[in-house]
Amino acid sequence: MTDFSNFTAPGINNLHPYVPGKPIEELERELGLSGTIKLASNENPLGPSPLGRKAAAESIAGINLYPDDSGYRLKAKLAAKYGLAPEQLVLGAGSSDVIDMVARTFLSPGGNAVFSRYGFAMYPIYTTAAGAQCRVADALPAEHKDMPYGHDLEAMAALVDEGTRVVFVANPNNPTGTWLEAGVLRTFLQDLPEEVIVVLDEAYTEYVTEPDFPNGVAWLAEFPNLLVTRTFSKIYGLAGLRIGYGMANAALIDLIGRVRHPFNVNTPALAAAEAALDDETFLQRSRNTNTAGLVQLASGFSSMGLSWIPSIGNFITVNVQRDGTQVYQQLLKKGVIVRPVANYDLPEHVRVTVGTEMENQRFLDALQEVLEA
Ligand code: PMP
């Protein structure tokens, strides 16, 4: 038979597909369990935004028609919220869709993208799929006193060369939960060549309570090469609908929009996102639940003698001092789904999403049993 791998586009044969968190239904089917909890994909444990959910349900009556390809109403609302023009926005089927559009617009064989070790897993995938080279900067060391495993912006800047088209910065980063302060990030942006696109991935920004945490949107006027991505998958609780967005200067958005798939964002997603933007009560409740959950998990780890990477996202990555994939598998048998992170070069860690107080406790109890067994 023909070996089709001899005929693929550049990059495809080196591609390792993204491994998502295990779905609850799949685990229950495989192990005959019920009452499983999933703390594996940084989803909102409180469910969808109630306003978003209602709007999505109401929009179903119109799904015989294609969605509004321009995303007119949602863009108008986002533009007003951030003080931007609607032309400065691109909508995606999740923010990962936007990141992919950037890669397909600017990356090709001969070019490269720079990102950090332990950076979000989609960066190497989209870079490789576009046939470009991944230039992976060393992260701050595990012993670093402030930001172990964090992005090392100096190391990243040192990898930028004339072939660099895109730099990916996740703030905070997944799976480490580490972050960059406004001052250092701004200096980094100032020092980069102005033709290098910086994707500032702010998927978790709405959870952050740190005072020195930057808001990338405020820098868009100053840096025409900056593109900020955000999502409705996390705090808004709409991961299943797939909707996110990118913000940049209008000329950059125009280029990226050329590779956008027509109708990439569906009707219920558009309706839900628009409504969820107003759901202040839900957002506040989600943020509070998360802040309390981070403390609960850290204190549970501490009483088990485990260290963890200090996180400001809706997840924590904990060092389990043994094979993390095995711990993950033992937790599965107890009906608790977390995320092994060996694929991130962290073989003795697992990442847990912050759940409700009860879910966090169930995870901590299960982890203790696994570690004692
Ligand atoms: N960026 C980061 C850092 C993420 O962790 C995720 C989701 N895991 C995304 C982007 C993409 O999320 P979505 O496509 O659902 O917006």
Residue 33 has pLDDT above 90, yes or no: no
**What are the structural domain ranges in the chain?**
21-47+280-372, 50-276
To the nearest whole number, what is the mean pLDDT of the chain? 97
Region 263-276 average pLDDT: 98
Question: If you take atom 1 of ligand 1, which residue's CA is the nearest one?
Answer: 203
Report the SS3 class of residue 198: strand
Query: What is the percent of the chain where pLDDT is above 70?
Result: 100
pLDDT for residue 34: 86
Topology of the domain covering 50-276? Aspartate Aminotransferase; domain 2 (3.40.640)
Digit-coded pLDDT (tens) for 208-256: 999 999 999 999 999 999 999 999 999 999 999 999 999 999 999 999 9
Ligand 1 centre to CA of 200 (Å) is 12
Q: Dig out the tokens for 104 from the structure.
A: 């397909």
**Strand locations in 250-354 (E):** 307-309, 315-319, 336-337, 339-340, 349-353
Region 89-97 average pLDDT: 98
Q: Tell me the pTM.
A: 0.97
pLDDT for residue 17: 86
- Under a CB-based contact definition with an 8 Å cutoff, are residues 105 and 256 in contact? yes
Per the DSSP assignment, residues forming a β-bridge with 341 are none
Region 117-140 average pLDDT: 97
- CA 269, distance to chain mean position in Å, is 18
Q: For ligand 1, what atom is nearest to the CA of residue 96?
A: 14
With a Cβ cut-off of 6 Å, ligand 1 is lined by 42, 94-96, 120, 170, 174, 201, 203, 231, 233, 239, 244
**CATH label, 21-47+280-372, candidates 3.10.310.30, 3.40.50.720, 3.90.1150.10, 3.90.550.10:** 3.90.1150.10
The residue to mutate among 90, 176, 201, 229, having the most atoms of ligand 1 within 8 angstroms of its beta carbon, is: 201
Rg (CA), the chain: 21
Ligand 1 centre to CA of 240 (Å) is 12
Digit-coded pLDDT (tens) for 18-31: 888 899 999 999 98
User: What are the backbone dihedrals phi and psi of residue 86, each rounded to the nearest 5 degrees, phi first?
Assistant: -55, -30
Q: Cα separation of 102 and 126, whole Å?
A: 9
Digit-coded pLDDT (tens) for 61-78: 999 999 999 999 999 999
Q: For ligand 1, what atom is nearest to the CA of residue 95?
A: 16
Question: If you take atom 13 of ligand 1, which residue's CA is the nearest one?
Answer: 94
